[in-house]
Amino acid sequence: MTDLLITNARIIDPEGDIIRPGALLVRNGVIAEIFDTPTPEVSRDLLPDHLRRDANNRFVAPGIVDIGVKVCEPGERHKESFGSAGIAAAAGGVTTIVTRPDTLPAIDTPEVLEFIRRRANEAAPVKVLPMAALTKGREGREMTEIGFLMDAGAVAFTDCDHVVADTRVLSRAMTYARSLGALVISHPQDPGLSRGGAVTSGKFATLRGLPGVTAMAERMGLDRDIALVEMTGVRYHADQITTSRALPALERAKANGFDVTAGTSMHHLTLNELDVSDYRTFFKVKPPLRAEEDRQAIIEAVRSGLIDVICSMHTPQDEESKRLPYEEAASGAVGLETLMPVMLRLYHSGDLTLPGLFRAMSLNPSRRLGLDTGRIAKGAPADLVLFDADKPMILDRFKLNSKSKNTPFDGARLQGRVLETFVDGLSVYRSQ
């Protein structure tokens, strides 16, 4: 049974940029009816009690589509499996995870990709869509079998944080991808300038004696990528834009009509370089946290729509790889479960509206991947999250469902809690 009635809800519609009170009826996994009345009459014969939810005037939004989640299968299942990532996603209101290919080995053949899809469907309660590597072994030398990988279900192609340094290789891969209509996702960084960098260069890096990478490295990476997009006409998405310097380049590319979109991470929207403080390695992410002016500029870019997508950049790391001197410690933070409450900080601070937030977390990523989700409309899949935007909590990292607990938000005061998550109308998580 995938029928469901949610009454007394405040429905967040990112397409219409509006919140409207009403009710939702789901039939066969899709949204069948959207009511303007909070408690519409639906006969008990058609819909028994256990399929009814009274939202009590809380919010219902389209489920989050998180592009760039690392599930450590194959290779490092002790850090995260499809089971644990799926449960974490459901608990965080994420209904579709789009996985990264930077596993061990990299996901670069249709065989590995098929294995991933099979494992994911068995183990995860949410939808899992895999991305594949753009070059074999993410080594930047030869392109992968983009056609076969698309047939096997790859939704996008990326070498993740391995920047394809050889522009000839990248231009060929992009040209080939364009001919198949594939989406290429890139990590805009100049590989020479960013080599060895652990923090953003500047006063803080100097004070702490840590090797810095200039913010200019991101702009140079983006400039180069956009030139190649102009040359090849490929569909292009920048995984994370985190500095104000890169924004004019992005704006120009969009104004010129290139098929370019960009994302940013929850960390770069809510934290800055000073949070690293006394070498706190849980705040080491890639690219490194930026200056406060950059953070402000990125928020503004999300608000204006220049940056399309907010993602969690979920990157599980075990304690051993984090309990090291800062330079040696691994990068990345888990985020599936904290994405929504952390991003609600920007709603509570008045920086973003709820429809604006879900446009960047649900609607835009869904559209970019050509999915039908991420919206509240008749006939759309009933991937929904029911949440309380105000409920306060203090985050305890050991209560996270991920196998790895490396979040920079341990002990943070957050507001917002997922009450229930639905995938195709089916409840996959319900808070106690």
Report the nearest approach of another protein to the CB of residue 184 (Å): 31
Report the nearest approach of another protein to the CB of residue 324 (Å): 7
In the list 20, 323, 399, 413, the residue contacting another protein (rule: CB under 8 A) is 323
Stretch that binds another protein, among 195-203, 223-231, 300-308, 338-346 (CB under 8 A): 195-203
Q: Which tokens in the block code for residue 12?
A: 């967040």
| Nearer to another protein (CB atom), residue 118 or residue 203 | 203
Q: Are 99 and 88 in contact (CB under 8 A)?
A: no
| Nearer to another protein (CB atom), residue 323 or residue 348 | 323
Interaction of residue 328 with another protein, rule CB under 8 A: yes
Give the Å distances, CA to CA, from 24 to 30, 119, 289. 10, 32, 40
Interaction of residue 212 with another protein, rule CB under 8 A: yes
Report the nearest approach of another protein to the CB of residue 328 (Å): 6
Report the nearest approach of another protein to the CB of residue 238 (Å): 24
CA neighbor of 384 nearest in space, from 339, 429, 431, 336: 429
DSSP string of 193-253, one letter each residue? HHTT--EETTHHHHHHT--EE-THHHHHHHHHHHHHHHHH--EEEES----GGGHHHHHHH
CA neighbor of 185 nearest in space, from 243, 114, 263: 263
Q: Which tokens in the block code for residue 275?
A: 């949070």
Report the nearest approach of another protein to the CB of residue 188 (Å): 20
Report the nearest approach of another protein to the CB of residue 325 (Å): 4
Q: What gap in Å lies between CA 136 and CA 130, rounded to an integer?
A: 16
* Total residues in contact with another protein, by rule CB under 8 A: 23
Interaction of residue 192 with another protein, rule CB under 8 A: no
β-partners of residue 13 are 18
Positive or negative CA dihedral for 69, 73, 74, 76? positive
In the list 324, 378, 390, 399, the residue contacting another protein (rule: CB under 8 A) is 324
Q: Mark residue 350 as left, alpha or beta (left: phi above 0; alpha: psi -120 to 50; beta: remaining).
A: left
Amino acid at 364: N
| Nearer to another protein (CB atom), residue 211 or residue 305 | 211
Report the nearest approach of another protein to the CB of residue 279 (Å): 3
In the list 69, 210, 386, 389, the residue contacting another protein (rule: CB under 8 A) is 210
Q: What gap in Å lies between CA 83 and CA 152, rounded to an integer?
A: 21
| Nearer to another protein (CB atom), residue 94 or residue 329 | 329
Q: Are 4 and 51 in contact (CB under 8 A)?
A: yes
DSSP string of 117-130, one letter each residue? HHHHHHH-SSEEEE
Q: What gap in Å lies between CA 246 and CA 220, rounded to an integer?
A: 8
In the list 255, 320, 379, 432, the residue contacting another protein (rule: CB under 8 A) is 320
Which residues are CB-contacts of 88 (< 8 A; sequence separation ≥ 6)? 334, 336, 337, 400, 401, 402
Report the nearest approach of another protein to the CB of residue 307 (Å): 26
Interaction of residue 327 with another protein, rule CB under 8 A: yes
In the list 82, 157, 176, 204, the residue contacting another protein (rule: CB under 8 A) is 204
Report the nearest approach of another protein to the CB of residue 208 (Å): 6
Q: What gap in Å lies between CA 247 and CA 262, rounded to an integer?
A: 10
In the list 28, 56, 206, 431, the residue contacting another protein (rule: CB under 8 A) is 206
Q: Are 393 and 340 in contact (CB under 8 A)?
A: no
Stretch that binds another protein, among 89-97, 251-259, 307-315, 326-334 (CB under 8 A): 326-334
Stretch that binds another protein, among 5-13, 37-45, 324-332, 406-414 (CB under 8 A): 324-332
- Each residue 356-385 as x (binds another protein by CB under 8 A) or -, in order, gives ------------------------------
Report the nearest approach of another protein to the CB of residue 411 (Å): 16
Stretch that binds another protein, among 107-115, 207-215, 413-421, 423-431 (CB under 8 A): 207-215
Report the nearest approach of another protein to the CB of residue 205 (Å): 7
Amino acid at 370: G
Q: What gap in Å lies between CA 136 and CA 149, rounded to an integer?
A: 12
In the list 45, 207, 255, 379, the residue contacting another protein (rule: CB under 8 A) is 207
Task: Show contacts with another protein in window 240-279 (CB under 8 A).
Answer: 278-279
Residues that bind another protein (CB under 8 A): 196, 201-212, 214, 278-279, 320, 323-328
